[in-house]
Structure 1
Amino acid sequence: MLNAQSTQIARSRLLAIMAFLSGLSLLPFAPSPSLYAQNLDARAIAFAVQQQLVQAIEKSEKSVVAISKIKTKRQQIQSRIPAPFGLDPNQGLNLSQDPKNLNFIPNEFGAGVLIPDPTGQNRVLILTNYHLTEGGPVAGKKTNPENRIFVHAANQLGFYAELIAADPRSDLAVLTPAKGLPNRSTRALSPIKYGNTEAIRKGQFVIALGNPYAIARDGSPSASWGIVSNFHRYPVPIFKNFLNQELDKEETLHHFGTLLQVDTHLDLGTSGGALLDLDGNLIGVTTSLAALEGYEKSTGFAIPIDQATLRIINSLAAGMEPEYGFLGIHPLTIEQSQARHLFTRNTVLLEPYYVVAKSVKPHSPAQLAGMLPDDLILSIEGQKLTRDFDLMREVGKAGAGKEVKLQILRGKKPRELTLTVKLGKWPVADDEGIVQTQFHHPLWRGLRVDYPTARKKYTFSPFSYPPAVVVTHVAPESPAQQAGLKEGNFISHFNDQAVRLPDSFYQEAQKANNSPVTLQLLDGRKVILSPQEAIKKQ
């Protein structure tokens, strides 16, 4: 559906391109008859661009769905947005309670993208924004959710969906149909193809497909187009110290500058939509959340589908919590003059800003790799750093357990060093916000452990990095519970073998077979964990 304003915008943009291309044909080239004979036909080129847009939209529009979020209990919706077309859920004008009926007005709305199943199971998977699905039903759980989620697909196919996994830090979630769909319907739901975000440049044409103001409830997403305006954008300014940023539940990975800025028209309801290149391939997930946080309505943002985002998507599709990297230092952005005070005067420091390790936490991944306070961190994995947010972003994107190379400058007689750091895990602040239906590690004797910084609620104040793993779950009536273990306990040794990583713990657990084991806690206590069979016999 098109309104008059959208039609006028599209027409003006096409005329602008034609005028631009016409200008190209009139540039004062050297007076060569052969060049004059090859003057560009601006109108033909404009129509070629138009045809490319049409083909790209036709290729991928059936892979973009509209999403309706429906409150299970009727309540007033506090909305900060205008309600065009009468789409105000508080007016009581709903002519239907059936979400398949076009007269149905959802409480909240957005879009989603059908994606390939990375596990090879050929499931129907829908990628969307976390904030659009918050409070929705979770696969395998029988609790009454706060909201129901309805998906409007192409050819007016509609179905209820549930969460496989959701992650507030990336603002991404993956849905699947709540009930099995007929094979005919499944075949009609074709997943989108991923594009190459490494080649994205400023000024590149992009296409956005979404569900502005719930207008795509018939399964036909609305299209807009524009250019990539910038990279590494921040949704809102933040002025907090590093450790608070790392541990604050309100902050996401995107607050460290991950977003694409585009000049496409992204109204509310385009959250979770597709950002396409001119080949119709997915290069980003659009979000209108930034507009809610104080930016102009016309400013658009998208989460780029790069390798780091694909890692997150694959974790969510597997039902697991995505894990983010953690160094365990307090970095600080300093000016060139401040950096020169740390080194001898003849040191060549040409950049206006640098990142310095103000402090390094004992037992942290950074300290284990040999990092010292006052080290100047020049780059990570070959990418130059100009501020602490750059370091935070790249460390977080790399993921827990990943080895990264840091180039540093050290000493009064400075020398460049390369440190290889095996990253820890960024502490999860919003524990309740994470949705997962699978876990990275199974229960072992009723026990599940994770990185010592896995959850903010288990960390110490002031912050420190324990040389241990933390207990995140104890099953009722299990050997772990019988031994007196509780969530938040830190385990430093397994049968006298030091364990600092969950992988190390589970490797030792495999060696134990059915034998009793001795676990030493960080406070010095020791507990004996019997096999499950021994508990059953008792």
Structure 2
Amino acid sequence: MIRTVLFACLLASAPAAAQEIDLAGAADDRVVPESRMDMQMSFAPLVREATPAVVNVFSRRVVANQHPFANDPFFSRMFRSQPREQNSLGSGVIVDASGVIVTNNHVVAGATELRVVLADRREFEARILLTDEATDLAVLRVETSEPLPVLPFDRSGDIEVGDLVLAIGNPFGVGQTVTSGIVSALARTDVGQTDFASFIQTDAAINPGNSGGALVDMDGELVGVNTMIFSRSGGSNGIGFAIPVEMVARVVDTAMSEGELIRPWLGARLQPVDSDIADAFGLSRPRGALVNEVYPQAAADEAGLMQGDIVLAIDGQAVNNEAGARFRLATRAAGDDAVFTVLRDGQEMTFDVAVQPAPGIAEPDPFEVAGRNPLSGAAMVTLSPAFNERVGLDPFRSGVVVSAVGRRSVAGRFGFRPGDHLVELMGTPIRSLDDVAEVLARHDGEQVWPLVVERRGQRFETSVRLY
């Protein structure tokens, strides 16, 4: 199984390697074939080493079987949706000899049963160690009495556009298949499939069933996990994407240590530097990401980043937008420091930014409103970056929102909805639940309640009357 995204045109190439930061180190030993004999060389030895560590992942899930009259209010009462089993196929990579396998989250999402088949046809029942929708990765474990073949991670970080790669998986369920190609682009952050996107693009043929399979370099090491394609037809058109091994290693390490996968939060809004911004800051060309806003006491603020700074690189890797910065932070463990290269007043500076989660509580206990007031029967929570990130709100947004409204409650009758942002109540600005509690205690039982509410970006000022 693989995600297929329908696009009418190719995306523009993203900036890839050298961005006015000296990333060169050891001598480059890549060579171009110079003879017919060089061009007739085979990948077979590399394939023999790599393929035993790539597996097939079979998932089974129960789904509702919709009858043809499901949307008809009359006939739907005469039919009942019967659950049915749905089987799907993906691929996976053995990353630890004890039986740890990494695959895509969408391969195993909702599965009631998972089965892994090795290249030598051995079969194992698998259990999930960790799933992460934000990165579209999942880590499985199978129980085995003997070590399994492993595909090692490429931790060198020296992959370049033009490097030869092999994609290994089980497309269309036909059996293990190897395709070859090159790295077409790096750091693709504009394909919009995960929250921490920075994909490797390849023209190695990837098709449905390749999801979770291996993208392997010429050293026989894992450089990425294949995850999706761009296609008009649903088949491979030479535009495939793989999750880089840096992210894969972070998720696997977390799963094996039985830790919690931390979502690092920079606490700064970043904007790509276009030609106008580059001219305004005296840059020879557009590069980096401009800091538009810094959240107080977040990681960026504590490290000393300021509005107007231009982030050029993180840990020596060029960054050109907020998605790239999020990815770089997400590949680091909580408590680490990431080195930011920043341009400020024409001078390059470095800052150590702590990798830490967003402040606040991701799942706060709601305040249940009672008494004689227009909010009675509603549940409310205080916004924080941690909560906002979890529910998909602007992380910088603050205040109090309605999280739930009871059926047949007073709040429901007055039209309050989950997501409503309470700005003012009885003329008092509302910044926290303490403000709400104080106003309700002071005015409970009064008949007229002036209030200000924001809903989906629109501001409403009104007064409600209790009867």
Q: What is the TM-score when the length of structure 2 is the normalising length? A: 0.62
State whether structure 2 residue 280 is matched by structure 1 residue 280.
no
SS in 2 for 1:425: coil
2:120 alignment counterpart: 155
Task: Give the drift of 1:417.
Answer: 4.0
Structure 2 distance, partners of 1:207, 1:462, is 39
Distance in 2 (CA, whole Å) between partners of 1:133 and 1:428 is: 31
Secondary structure (helix, strand or coil) at the match of 2:209 reads: coil
> Are 2:53 and 1:112 equivalent residues in the alignment?
no
Contact 2:388 2:395 in 1 (8 A): no
Measure, in 2, the Cα distance between the counterparts of 1:410 and 1:163: 46
What is the aligned counterpart of 1:126 among 82, 90, 101?
101
Aligned match of 1:64: 54
Post-superposition shift, 1:72? 3.9
Q: 1:263 matched to which residue of 2?
A: 203
Equivalent residue for 1:402, pick from 321, 326, 336: 336
Counterpart of 2:174? Answer: 215
| Conserved? CA contact 1:231–1:259, under 8 Å | yes
User: Which string of whole-angstrom CA distances, capped at 9 and with x for unpartnered residues, describes residues 477-520 of structure 1?
Assistant: xxxxxxxxxxxxxxxxxxxxxxxxxxxxxxxxxxxxxxxxxxxx
Q: Distance in 2 between matches of 1:428 and 1:273?
A: 37
**Aligned-partner Cα distance in 1 for 2:102–2:226:** 11
CA-CA distance at 1:166 after TM superposition: 1.1
The residue type equivalent to 2:294 in the other structure is: V
Distance of aligned partners of 1:353 and 1:415 in 2 relative to their CA distance in 1, 3 Å threshold: closer
Instruction: Identify the residue that residue 226 of structure 1 maps to in structure 2.
Output: 181
Equivalent-residue separation in structure 1 for 2:242 and 2:433 (angstroms): 43
Match of 1:530 in 2: none
What is the identity percentage for the equivalent residue pairs of Structure 1 and Structure 2? 26
Which structure 1 segments of 5+ residues have no match? 1-22, 26-39, 78-96, 98-105, 117-121, 137-146, 239-249, 432-451, 467-520, 525-538
Alignment-derived partner of residue 45 in structure 1: 38
* Residues 78-93 of structure 1: pairs in structure 2 closer than 5 A: none
- Aligned match for 1:313, one of 242, 252, 256: 252
Residue 464 of structure 1, CA deviation: 4.6
Write 1 or 2 for the structure with the bigger share of helix: 1
Match of 1:360 in 2: 294
- In the alignment, structure 2 segments of 5+ residues that lack a partner are 1-31, 68-84, 364-383, 399-431, 436-467
Query: Residues 278 and 408 from structure 1, CA distance in 2 versus in 1: closer, same or farther, beyond 3 angstroms?
Result: closer
What's the offset of the Cα at 1:371? 2.6
**Are the equivalent residues in 1 in contact too, given 2:314–2:338 (CA < 8 A)?**
yes
Q: Displacement of 1:227 after TM fit?
A: 1.6
In structure 2, C-alpha distance between the alignment counterparts of 1:169 and 1:427, rounded to whole Å? 19
Given that 2:215 and 2:226 are in contact with CA atoms closer than 8 Å, whether structure 1 keeps it comes out as yes
- Summarize deviations over 1:358-403 as a string: whole Å, max 9, x none: 1111221222223332233333334443334333332333344322
Q: Go from structure 1 to structure 2 and tell me whether the alpha carbon gap of 1:227 and 1:397 turns closer, same or farther (over 3 Å shift).
A: same
Which amino acid counterpart does residue 114 of structure 1 have in structure 2?
I
CA contact (8 A) 1:167 1:321 kept: no
Report what 1:323 is aligned to.
Answer: 262
Instruction: Report the counterpart of residue 252 of structure 1 in structure 2.
Output: 195
The aligned residue for residue 456 of structure 1 is 388
What is the count of residue pairs matched by the alignment? 335
**Alignment of 1:176 onto 2:141:** yes
1:334 is displaced (CA, Å) by 3.5
Code of the residue aligned with 1:252 in structure 2: it is: D
Letter in 2 for 1:324: R
* Pairwise CA distance, 1:196: 4.8
Deviation by residue 1:315-368 (Cα, 9 ceiling, x = unmatched) = 123333322321111222243443554x6xxxx522224422211112212222
2:149 pairs with one of 190, 195, 215: 190
Per-residue Cα deviation, 1:70-124 (whole angstroms, up to 9, x for no partner): 12467479xxxxxxxxxxxxxxxxxxx9xxxxxxxx72111111112xxxxx631
SS for the counterpart of 1:325 is coil
- The Cα offsets for residues 288-335 of structure 1, whole Å up to 9 and x where unpaired, read as 3655998964322112213x4322221123333322321111222243
**Partner-residue secondary structure (3-state), 1:398:** coil
- Higher fraction of strand: 2
Q: Distance in 2 between matches of 1:285 and 1:460?
A: 26
Distance in structure 2 (CA, Å) of the matches to 1:172 and 1:429: 24
TM-score (norm 1): 0.54
Q: Which amino acid aligns with 1:161?
A: A
1:133 offset after TM fit, Å? 0.8
Contact 1:377/1:408 (<8 A) preserved: yes
Q: Please provide the CA RMSD for this pair.
A: 3.8
Distance 1:148 1:296 in 2: 29
Partner Cα separation in structure 2 for residue 353 and residue 463 of structure 1: 25
Local SS of the residue matching 1:358: strand
Q: Give the distance between the partners of 2:181 and 2:360, measured in 1 at CA.
A: 36
Q: 1:302 to 1:328 in 2, by over 3 A?
A: same
Amino acid at match of 1:71: R
Taking a change above 3 Å as real, the CA distance of residues 293 and 523 of structure 1, as seen in their structure-2 partners, is: farther
Contact 1:165 1:321 in 2 (8 A): no
Write the letter of the residue equivalent to 1:225: S
Shift of residue 134, structure 1, vs aligned partner: 0.7
Compared CA separation, residues 399 and 523, structure 1 to 2 (3 A): farther
Match of 2:271 in 1: 332
Give 2:428's aligned residue. none
Report if the CA contact (8 A) 1:355-1:376 is conserved.
Answer: yes
Residues 278 and 285 in structure 2, CA contact (< 8 A), matched pair in contact too: no
**Which amino acid counterpart does residue 359 of structure 1 have in structure 2?**
E
Q: Could you tell me which of 272, 280, 305 is aligned with 1:371?
A: 305
